[in-house]
Chains A and B, each alone.
Chain A
Amino acid sequence: MKVRTTTVAVTAVLALSLAACGSKGSRSTSGADQDQLTIGVSMSLTGSLAREGLLTRSGYEFCQQVINGKGGIPVGDRKVKLNLVFQDDTSSPDTAAQLIDQYNDKGYKLVLSPYGSAATEAAAAVVERNGQVMVDSLGADDTIFEKGYRRTFGVLSPGSEYAASIVEALHDLAKPTPKTVIFLSADDGFSKSVTTGGEKAARGLGMTVLPTQFFPNGASDVSAALSKAKALHPDVIIGSVHFVEGVAIIKQSKELGVRPQGFGETVAPPTPDFPQTLNELAEGVLGSSQWVSSGKGSDKWFGTSADYATAYKAKFGEDAQYHAASASAACLALVMAVEKAHSLQPDAVRDALASLDTPSFFGPIKFDPTGKNVTKQMSVIQIQHGEAVPVWPADVAQKPLIWPGAA
């Protein structure tokens, strides 16, 4: 019995030693061997952001398929295949940061961002400390880029553009032009960035901005904010919100008899769930989108926006949304940087990202010194007959704005 116990113990020690050796070995490779580049991704596959996380993962996976389908990334005289490794962060920013740290221990120096601003912000701090490099797909909060980080690059337009683009679209297209606007905002960092940007744009365009009403992030009851808004009789209500609060604004406005000329909301309306959940109540609601399939620009991997949309639908059987497109664009930026750097070393890739200036199916990709992609313009969509139709800016618009927009 004693011999058997000793044998088990020794075997266990040996197994642990071997595992440790393996770990050390991979650490020196920067996530890459001769033919493969491993990129770590922490993603909300379960938890409160699972829906958005799964859409984001689809975008990353689609990128991997396209790149590998075309032979891989040219690096010097060889081609390197992409190998994306996903782990579930359960929609928790702390877990996302831990996973990024673990990727570093495994030698994965290049990473793609988790879903959302909170997780991306947590991950960015770890990336900076470890000397990793991260391309951010869907963390739009401006504060991520205001901390002096040098190794995080966001392909998407920053949060401050979300509501501002709706305000500009209304100013350009709505007749009669709305004179008063009220922002109803969730209280998380991203939503507050959105609101601040929207308020600034509205004041700049001569609109009267009524006192903003806040409610907790994720609230399914926004009746108090709507009651206060109702008393102020705004021409337009703009929600700086996520999906749940966005739907609550529309549904509870109906219940409480709040009837402005129109509603604008940031991230909820472009998702197919929005018109499906609200039916005719969704009609006329404006939303801002990072990407639309009628967008301009193309690249050698994905082609045009329309090509991307067609290929995505062929693979997944559903229309591409901006979540997936933004994820694919982040992956694309990393691929382009690796190709440009002729290297898989993180410092070289980081420098290549910083100097990237290229068109793509997602729009132009060019980062300012803080890592924000400031050259890309957001689009504004409106729900018309159950579809999210681009209405602004003019070069991507597919139909004219219907105004007043409230159903």
Chain B
Amino acid sequence: MNAFLQSTVYGLLQGGLLALVAVGFSLVWGVMNVINLAHGAFVVVGAYVAWQLNEWLGLDPFIAMFGSMAFLFVTGYLVQRLLVNLVVNAPVFITLLLTFGLDLLLTNGLIMIYSGNYRAINTSYALKSLALGGVRVPVGRLLGCLLAVACSLLLVSLMKRTRTGLAIAATGMDRGAARLMGIRARHIYALTFGIAAALAGLAGAMLATVGTFSPADASKYTLFSFVIAVLGGLGNMYGALAGGLLLGLVESWAGQYLSGTLVNAVAFGLLVLVLVARPAGLLGRPFYESRLEV
């Protein structure tokens, strides 16, 4: 029983971190119909910015994460405005190619600058655990998971209660109609991309605090984001959170009760099952279903 509780808690915490990684990816896909293959690279850039701020200024990663978010927001905004916007009307294959190229550029740029070494941000508290009965709750992961929940709530509130959020949602549903209503689609797209990149930066700072990172991790995070976005569904800001938590939980249980080598098979088996039962994903809206058919 204790083992079950421990693996459940750890899986949820791990899932929260994964949700944080994926939430921006899901946002961009839902609003712009762009599958951003450079998302994992943004996560790693975020980790490097937080690590660099920690090295230079001794900033705690929970403060340095704001630096990561700011840097990635500006980067994301400019990348969309100056680059992705050029092909935003093109077939999805073209945007895939463009973002794949961007991913290669960022990943290999980081290898050139930082030599591909593995790094981590060490703090006095991240690896400590709270003991609840026989179950240990690691502090760093708990904070990361809480941040993921907070980000999802903030994003929902942004999308539902602010004019900017409503403009983002409207542009995602019907760009032509949104433009006729006076919404500047180019700006809204760039803003969405910027927000997504900032969230990736935040996730990067958290991952650097509880684990290690190197430029080679970028593709792993893109893959996780893709799976979680499909699992959770598009068009609902809680989708990534649900997808991430489910993936974390299933991976943790699979590791605990089956052979560890089957973890990936179980995780991807779950993806297939969800797609068969609910093609729009767990919380996805039917309108966005067609976007999964790429």
Contacts and interface: CB of A to CB of B under 8 A. Distances in A.
A187 interface: yes
B211 A214 contact: no
- Count class of interface residues, chain A: 35 or more
Contact of A215 (B6, B119, B260): B260
Interface residues of B, number: 40
B116 interface: yes
Contact of A51 (B115, B141, B254): B115
Interface stretch (B93-101, B151-159, B212-220, B270-278): B212-220
A273 B215 CA distance: 14
Overall SS of chain B's interface: helix
Contacts, number: 107
Interface stretch (A118-126, A194-202, A250-258): A250-258
B212 A51 contact: no
A51 B116 contact: yes
B252 A223 contact: yes
B263 A54 contact: no
Given A243-B118, A255-B136, A225 B111 contact: no
Nearest to B218: A48
B212 A279 contact: no
A255 B127 contact: yes
Given A221-B14, A227-B7, A251 B210 contact: yes
Interface in A187-238: 187, 213-216, 218-221, 223-225, 227-228, 231
A379 to B, nearest CB: 22
Given A224-B256, A251-B210, A255-B127, A216 B264 contact: yes
Contacts of A54: 115-116
B263 A215 contact: yes
26 contacts: A46-B107, A46-B108, A46-B111, A48-B216, A49-B216, A50-B116, A51-B214, A54-B116, A215-B263, A219-B260, A223-B7, A223-B252, A224-B252, A224-B260, A227-B10, A227-B256, A228-B256, A244-B118, A248-B212, A256-B138, A273-B119, A276-B117, A277-B118, A277-B119, A278-B120, A281-B127
Interface of B: 3, 6-7, 10, 14, 107-108, 111, 115-120, 122, 127, 129, 131, 136, 138, 140-141, 210-212, 214-216, 219-220, 251-252, 254-256, 259-261, 263-264
Q: Which 4 A-B pairs have the closest CB atoms?
A: A224-B255, A255-B138, A215-B260, A51-B116
